[in-house]
Amino acid sequence: MSYQTINPATEEVLKTFKEASDRELEAAIARADWAYANEWRKTSLDERKKIVKKAASLMRSRREELAGLVTLEMGKLLREARAEVDLSADILDYYADRAETFLAPKTLNVAEGQAWVEAAPLGVIFCVEPWNFPYYQLVRVAGPNLMVGNTVIVKHAPNVPQCALAFEKVFLDAGAAPGVYTNVFLSNAQAATAIADTRIQGVALTGSERAGSAVAAEAGKALKKSTMELGGSDAFIVLEDADLDAAVQWAIWARMNNTGESCVAGKRFILHEQIADVFLNRFREELQKLVPGNPADDSTTLGPLCTAGALDHALGQISTAVQGGAKILLGGHRIGRPGYYLEPTILTHVDRKNPVFFEEIFAPVAMIFRVKNEEEAIQLANDSPFGLGGTVMTRDVERGKRIARRIESGMVFINSATWTAPELPFGGVKNSGYGRELAEVGIGEFLNRKLIRVTSPQSTFLPAQRTILG
Active-site residue among 261, 263, 360, 437?
A: 263
Strand partners, 366: 346
CA 153 to chain centre: 17
Does the annotation count 263 as an active-site position?
yes
Specify which residues 429 forms β-bridges with: 387
Residue among 84, 168, 218, 229 flagged as catalytic: 229
> Which residue type occupies 27?
A
Cα dihedral sign, 312-318-323-328? negative
Using DSSP bridges, classify how beta strands 386-387 and 327-330 pair: parallel, antiparallel or unpaired.
unpaired
**229 catalytic, yes or no?**
yes
d(CA 380, CA 352): 10
Rounded CA separation 215/128 (Å): 9
Euclidean distance between CA atoms 169 and 174, whole angstroms: 8
* First CA to last CA distance, the chain: 64
Distance, in Å, from the CA atom of 47 to the CA atom of 176, rounded to the nearest integer, reads 10
Residue 130 · residue 212 · CB < 8 Å: no
Q: In whole angstroms, what is the distance from residue 175 CA to residue 86 CA?
A: 21
75 φψ region: left (φ > 0), alpha (ψ -120 to 50), beta (else): left
**Alpha-carbon dihedral 200, 202, 206, 209, rounded to 10 degrees:** 100
133: exposed, middle or buried (C-beta count within 10 Å: 0-12, 13-18, 19+)?
buried
- Please identify every residue annotated as catalytic: 229, 263
